[in-house]
Amino acid sequence: MFEQLGLIGCGLMGGSFALALKKAGLVKRVVGYSKSPSTTERARQMGVIDVEAPSALLAVSGADLVLLAVPVSATEATFKAIRHLLNNNTLVMDVGSTKREVIDAARRVLKDQVGVFVPAHPIAGKELSGVEHADAELYTGRQVILTPIERTLTAQIAKAQQVWTALGCHVQQMSPEAHDAAYAAVSHLPHLIAFALMNAITGQAQAKQFLSLAGPGFRDFTRIAASDPSVWRDILTSNREELIAQSRHFQRALHAFENAISAGNPDALESLIEQASSSRAHWRMNAIKPQN
């Protein structure tokens, strides 16, 4: 059990982590800080946190577990704000969807203390952001990817694994580079396509009519386009190199479909659809374990 969780960012991800820890009996006290005082106050009213901290540094004071649940772009500033109260017994984690930029920030700021930081990416979330949507079951049954570096303390990795496992998660380890390449393909690119599709449709004069005729397939395909703009702005920017590489793969695949349609070649078109259909039919979520 942890004595105190210092929660920096009391929104959906951070709030859900705090609630999950409390439900599992893994923490005695949660001290929280958010950039918006109203968010921190709401988190206390909801029982997500026990104490409101006026700063990130004071949220970390006395904490043996620290979670950074802030936008990726805010990670470096957050490390700077809390570094003076970290020690080798503190476990520090984040929940960012990209890892290399976060790790680079940790190296620059934490320096000799970087070993206490275990980069983490829980594969969970909702389209609705904010502490109001925090859920103690958000992480249950979900994957959590840990991307420790060569200087990460072995003891902290073990603690991180134990925490997420106790919350009902399936914990995997992989390199930051492999993580960012993989999630550019299976998470960041799908979001980019969903955003672009919505803009392509709404940019047309007949948009309202088109959207009024859309059905369940469109609803399911575009669900992630309702995601938090500021969060996804940071994710897409921070993983831009891998994302652009995946976007080019997608464009080549799209062009193959366009060429088959333009040429009036139903056999080529059916073959492309069959390839995609078969791949999707045989895919099972979490069936393949990431490689270290």
pLDDT digits (tens, 9 = 90+) for 62-119: 999 999 999 999 999 999 999 999 999 999 999 999 999 999 999 999 999 999 999 9
pTM for the structure as a whole? 0.88
At residue 203, φ and ψ (nearest 5 deg) are: -80, 0
Whether 126 has a pLDDT exceeding 80, the answer reads no
Q: How confident is the model at residue 125 (pLDDT cuts 50, 70, 90)?
A: confident
- On the 0-12 / 13-18 / 19+ scale of CB atoms within 10 A, 176 is buried
- Neighbouring CB atoms inside 10 A of 242's CB total 21
Task: Give the pLDDT score at 288.
Answer: 47
d(CA 47, CA 41): 10
Residue 291: predicted pLDDT: 42
**Mind listing the pLDDT tens digit for each residue in 131-149?**
998 999 999 999 999 999 9
Q: What is the pLDDT of residue 230?
A: 87
CA distance 125 to 123: 7
Burial class (CB in 10 A: 0-12, 13-18, 19+), 67: buried
Inform me whether the pLDDT recorded for 292 exceeds 50.
no
What pLDDT does residue 183 have? 96
The whole-number pLDDT of residue 287 equals: 58
Give percent above pLDDT 90 in the chain: 92
E-strand spans in 55-97? 65-68, 91-94
Would you state the pLDDT for residue 129? 78
Confidence of residue 187 (pLDDT cuts 50, 70, 90): very high
